[in-house]
Structure 1
Amino acid sequence: MCENRPANDCIAKTYGVKPIWSIIVKVEIKDKEELTKELNIEIPAETVNSRIDLKLKEVQKTTELKGFRKGKAPMDMIKKLYGEKVKFEAAEDILKDTYPQAVQEHKIRVASYPNVTAMDFTDEGGLTYTATVEVFPEIDKVEIEGLELTEETIEVKDEEVDQVVEMMQKNFSEVREVERPVGATDIVVLDIDKLEDKGNVIPTDKFENSEVDLSNKMTIKEFSEALPGMKKGETKEITVNYADDYPDKQFAGAELKYKCTVKQVKERLLDELNDGFAKKTGQGETMLELRMNIRENVKNQKEEEKNRAKKTQVIEHIVSKNEIPIPNSLVENYLENVVKDFKEQYKDQKVDEEEIKKNYEPIGRSNIRWNMLMHKIAENEKITVQTEDVDALIQKFADNYKITKDQAKEHLRQSGNIADLRESLLEEKVIDFISGKAKIISADKK
């Protein structure tokens, strides 16, 4: 049976022809531009003719011509009718077989698909072609010395717990519409028309049924100041000057004028903060237990933020210390995926592909360089991911989503994320290795 064999191997075995990869071909390798190699590959006539004969027999087997039963047409007729087509199909099969063989035998670390040119048949009946391909750079050693890591002492203040309790109180509150002027902590439903936008910051001109929560500290100051006192049906023009350090960089430093019409005014009916409220949240039987759980969660979040900050410092240090060349094809592929994501996210808007690529190219180059360096460090230091490491992470995934470990494993397998898990674990181990050699500086002393 041939179920688990390559198709050509099966055909070759059926007709008694040697598989193409068992034939030694002539390979000449030339270094072209940086990270570019040219492979000139020559396959002898014997091999080419065997491959053509193999395919002709396969065509003969499935062809039904007038006057002959299926599979019984003379080979001369098959060659006359299908010879040229079969010849070029055989050439394509030979290329698909011999290129990977040449790469493997000569240990070429390819970073791109090959650009195949000059494919031709020789006078003797052999086949030659040229494959140009980008390769990964050769990295001998990765410089990791000189890293200084700034770390903050993790502390959870009572005020931070209070903020989370306040947010939960809002989330569990009842919201009802009221017929009165807007209050300082109300939720206001607005129809918003954009009047002025000199920088064309946002392409949309109308925002209907937009909810503005005046109790939210993140609400734009101009809205918090202008909306209280307005009544349902009233309209007011509001000019917003976005700060230069506004979190959404798209708006940073911009000035926009809006016309706002009040459609609804809503108020919150907040629960009293007692043990009954704690039980309602499902995160504690008493307020004391709820606050303790919140404190632990905030601490865990800060630990994650600390680890992310450490990761950023490590990557920036390694990438800046080791400016290795990067295959352009990897950068181009990265940027194409970024553009694709933007188009899917903003389906109704025109996307400036060149601007996106320009903005994301430095990020892509840094990510690709880090990935290559990270794997080289792992190789040099013999850092590996064990089965038990993956199992522990899958168990954590299962616990988070309250499913069994087997269910988690199956979900990750079907979504193709097992490999991503291993890669994430390897990166985590490499970062821990580098961090272990760093000088730690307390942020409190800076």
Structure 2
Amino acid sequence: MEITKKDIDSLNAVVTVEVKAEDYSDKVQKILNNYRKTANIPGFRKGHVPMGMVKKQYGKAVLVEEVNKILQDALHNYLTEEKLDVLGNPLPKNDTEIDWDAKDFTFDFELGLSPKFDVDVVGKKAITHYHIEADDKMVNDQITSIRKQYGKLISKNEVEKGDEITGTFTNEEKEINKDTTFSLDAIKGKTQLKKIIGAKVGDTLSLKTKNLFANDHQNQTYLGV
């Protein structure tokens, strides 16, 4: 195998990969031998199919696959070893259809090279570095959040402080009919919260939906309006 690079200009180059028969022939033959052992072809016992028939049926597909594997590995290794800073992926440049009946193959790839430039930094600008300390409240809030997210759900008959509730908001006039699940911590008003705490499964509550939750986004999410 031979790989060469031709520079078109400072930002473009063409890499040519020449794959010889000796690069792939042993691998192709090994795969075809395995196919011969396992092929089920009418009129022949397994393992006794003529190699000529195996090559006729599978040879071209195996050849194409193995050459492509060798080609991709060789191109990747070349770009790595030569430390070429390439923009995007190499693009195949072959203008004519590949003759897979040939023994040797030549592939051209177009490369987009990263431009080289220097940056002169004049002066210095201060950067603020923030040191954030996690106080007890932050830690406890995070623990509570993780417990709610990954903890085991337990059904309850009566609502208590800190619970999550699943229910349906309905309002015929506003055409609201929204099944939703929310945490009591999201309720904004104390009066509304008192109505919910102590409610039992199946109860119907009358709530003021305006400013029911902490912000408009939550109102839209939970109420569907």
Q: Provide the TM-score with structure 2 as the length reference.
A: 0.49
The structure whose Rg is larger is: 2
Q: Which structure features the higher share of helix residues?
A: 1
